[in-house]
Chain A
Amino acid sequence: MALLEIRNLHATVDNKPILNGVDLILDAGEVHAIMGPNGSGKSTLSYVLAGRDGYDVTDGEVLYDGRDLLAMEADERAREGVFLAFQYPVEIPGVAGLTFLKTAANALRRHRGEGELDAMDFLKFVRDKADSLDINADMLKRAVNEGFSGGEKKRMEILQMAVLEPRLAILDETDSGLDIDALKVVADGVNALRGPERGMLLITHYQRMLDYIVPDRVHVLAHGRIVKSGDKSLALELEAKGYGEYLDAAE
């Protein structure tokens, strides 16, 4: 059974159709890249999968491990192992990153019937994860994302992903706004988290991240539909030719 199966997914935002029949199958252990021009529906797809309010599914279905993902609330999906790395991570003033992450991790642990970690055990767990990803855990002492640089925000997302150990990770334009060094750190983090049980969707505008994270499949999203799928070479082709031909074809 596929980890994620999207069938004929249609969605609107403010009654405006954005997704017009997306089909996609992601198996556990695989990394798929979804590429497309601005306005093609990439971020909408990630929000629909994560269950954000205001994104209305009008047709189609999404199966996560064979279960109806769309029937679950956003927080339930998260507790079931769906993680979204945000394109624009949100600031939460006054809440220390460590408190935030511990609250989240314990919500997930309770859901799985595991005991909660106390402050000391959790701190050690997080430090180990941060060290393995070459991320400085000191940023967890600061309020969540408050005053973070673009690179720090993205590293914080990767660290959260590592700590929460999702089964399905959706990374929405995680490469945007990163310089080459930050991009490497993020890519190394993603690669370290690849595993046979975990599926990942990398949503990206540019192919440059795919130099560091080699995807199993590449899909082109245009006008709210997957218009072409292929292997890694498709990304290089897009880089060379641009999205022009798909935009025309889809219209």
Chain B
Amino acid sequence: MVANVDALEQVQSLGEQYKYGFVTDIDVDLAPKGLNEDIVRLISEKKGDPEWMLEWRLKAYRHWLTMEEPRWQKVAFAPIDFQDAYYYAAPKLSDKPKSLDEIDPKLLETYEKLGIPLKEQEVLAGVEGAPRVAVDAVFDSVSVATTYKAKLEEIGVIFCSISEAIKDHPELVRKYLGSVVPYADNFYATLNSAVFTDGSFVYIPKGVRCPMELSTYFRINQENTGQFERTLIIADEGAHVSYLEGCTAPMRDEHQLHAAVVELITLDDAEIKYSTVQNWYPGDAEGRGGIFNFVTKRGACRGRNSKISWTQVETGSAITWKYPSCILQGDNSVGEFYSVAITNNAQQADTGTKMIHIGKNTSSRIISKGISTGRADQTYRGLVRMQRGAHGARNYTQCDSLLIGDQCGAHTVPYIECQNPTAQVEHEATTSRIGDDQLFYCRQRGLSNEEAVSLIVNGFCREVLQTLPMEFAVEAQKLVGISLEGSVG
């Protein structure tokens, strides 16, 4: 379907620069700045957590105090003062609105400006004939609305904010939360475990194919806040779901931290397709401001013949540091990672994946396309591990980097560990530039320099972009063009 979508028209129709940089003026309920046990307790109380949840948070917080920030990633930034941020910011609502009609119009307007439909009869902006998409909208620390909830409930699909799930479906949350990313996993995941405020929860029951795309839209609005969301998706035996995540933030001069955790679980014959279009504010050309996107995303293929597929389009953030990974535990399970990362100006990205093969005949596929321009620096870092019992496991990795200009960098760091002699691992990597001959050929046909670059880069990423659901493919193609603005001539 992507072939029908013409990226360039879309690019031309859009203005310059980052177009989601506005701020919504809304009354906010803020916890005091800083982080200590009282703040963790306060967040827990605000969320109405049961006792077990509070205990878990405190356990994580106490562990976090003993941890040090990781420094192995190839990115550079000034130390973060964790006491100088707000850990809870929520738009003031009298009560959680009972229906979509009761939501603050300012919030509705915000999401409208972002092209996100919070009315059930609408679809994502500008895509005619697109299937319906159910949306969970997370604004700063809380979920403000979830659409199509009732309709999904009819077939047993649970789609709600994680706060609601903790109250309404504690048995599922207790069973799976932290089962893929334990609370002590890493510095930022542990911090998230202590202070997470909201996020989405999805449960697809046995044998159900979710009839619509599920989507969460994250928006950071408040100044000096960190966003710590937690997403948990479970596909029971034979279930199938496609989930999309989008994110934006206002333009601000200081950096803001986004430290999310996403856990996916597939049981026998189940499949989860998780797509991200990440467009956090990247900071200005000099590197002032922008989001620090330090995220832990991991999926466990627990069941036989199950599948988890990650697709990410990373265009935003000052620094991106994430490795959506798959633990291929069930025999014959499949993990996929498709990634496009674009870094411009002073952006830095260290991103890739981990494929841990445990079960027999497990297979994984990694396609990574990195585009670097301006003074940006980008690293692909990926681990493929074939464990002792992974008989007949296979991996194919392809890493392509495209450089535009002479001040940017691209690095590829593959880690391969093979403990089983019957497993096969393939790794291919290329680094290229946009050829002068390609640019001239396009310009000789009447395309401007920027149109030419956008077209060539979209072609370079095509293999990944076409794995996105159609609604997001359009947006992603536009983003590719916009993210590259000013990269040539």
Q: Which residues of B contact A20 (CB under 8 A)?
A: none
**CB distance B446 to A78 under 8 Å?**
yes
Residue of B nearest to A78 (CB): B446
**CB distance A75 to B449 under 8 Å?**
yes
Residue of B nearest to A108 (CB): B446
B437 interface residue (CB < 8 Å to A): yes
Cα–Cα distance between A98 and B5 once the two chains are bound (Å): 11
Number of chain B residues whose Cβ lies closer than 8 Å to a Cβ of chain A: 29
| Min C-beta distance of A52 to chain B, whole Å | 5
Known: A93-B460, A94-B460. A104 touches B3 (CB 8 A): no
**CB distance A74 to B456 under 8 Å?**
no
Residue of B nearest to A80 (CB): B446
| Min C-beta distance of A54 to chain B, whole Å | 8
B463 interface residue (CB < 8 Å to A): yes
B445 interface residue (CB < 8 Å to A): yes
**CB distance A116 to B445 under 8 Å?**
no
**CB distance B447 to A75 under 8 Å?**
yes
Number of chain A residues whose Cβ lies closer than 8 Å to a Cβ of chain B: 37
Cα–Cα distance between A95 and B3 once the two chains are bound (Å): 9
B455 interface residue (CB < 8 Å to A): yes
Q: Which residues of A contact B441 (CB under 8 A)?
A: 86, 89-90, 92
**CB distance A84 to B444 under 8 Å?**
yes
B443 interface residue (CB < 8 Å to A): yes
**CB distance B438 to A75 under 8 Å?**
no
**CB distance A95 to B456 under 8 Å?**
yes
**CB distance A75 to B461 under 8 Å?**
no
Cα–Cα distance between A95 and B446 once the two chains are bound (Å): 16
Known: A116-B9, A119-B6. A79 touches B446 (CB 8 A): yes
Q: Which residues of A contact B262 (CB under 8 A)?
A: none
**CB distance A104 to B9 under 8 Å?**
no
A-B contact pairs, 6 of them (CB 8 A): A52-B444, A92-B455, A95-B459, A104-B445, A107-B451, A164-B446
**CB distance B455 to A74 under 8 Å?**
no
Cα–Cα distance between A92 and B438 once the two chains are bound (Å): 7
Q: Which residues of B contact A90 (CB under 8 A)?
A: 435, 437-438, 440-441
Q: Which residues of B contact A111 (CB under 8 A)?
A: 446
Q: Which residues of B contact A53 (CB under 8 A)?
A: 436, 440
**CB distance A99 to B446 under 8 Å?**
no
Partner of A107, one of B436, B447, B456, B463: B447
Partner of A75, one of B9, B435, B443, B460: B443
Q: Which residues of B contact A108 (CB under 8 A)?
A: 446
**CB distance B462 to A94 under 8 Å?**
yes
Cα–Cα distance between A212 and B149 once the two chains are bound (Å): 70
One digit per residue, 1 when the CB lies within 8 angstroms of any chain B CB and 0 when it does not, for chain A 156-193 equals 00001000100000000000000000000000000000
- 8 Å CB interface, B428-487 against A: 435-438, 440-449, 451-452, 455-456, 458-463
Known: A75-B449, A119-B4. A95 touches B443 (CB 8 A): no
Which of B436, B444, B461 is the most central at the interface, judged by chain A CB atoms within 10 Å of its CB?
B444
Which of B4, B435, B445 is the most central at the interface, judged by chain A CB atoms within 10 Å of its CB?
B445
**CB distance B4 to A106 under 8 Å?**
no
B308 interface residue (CB < 8 Å to A): no
**CB distance B459 to A92 under 8 Å?**
yes
**CB distance A74 to B462 under 8 Å?**
no
Q: Which residues of A contact B455 (CB under 8 A)?
A: 92, 95, 99-100, 103
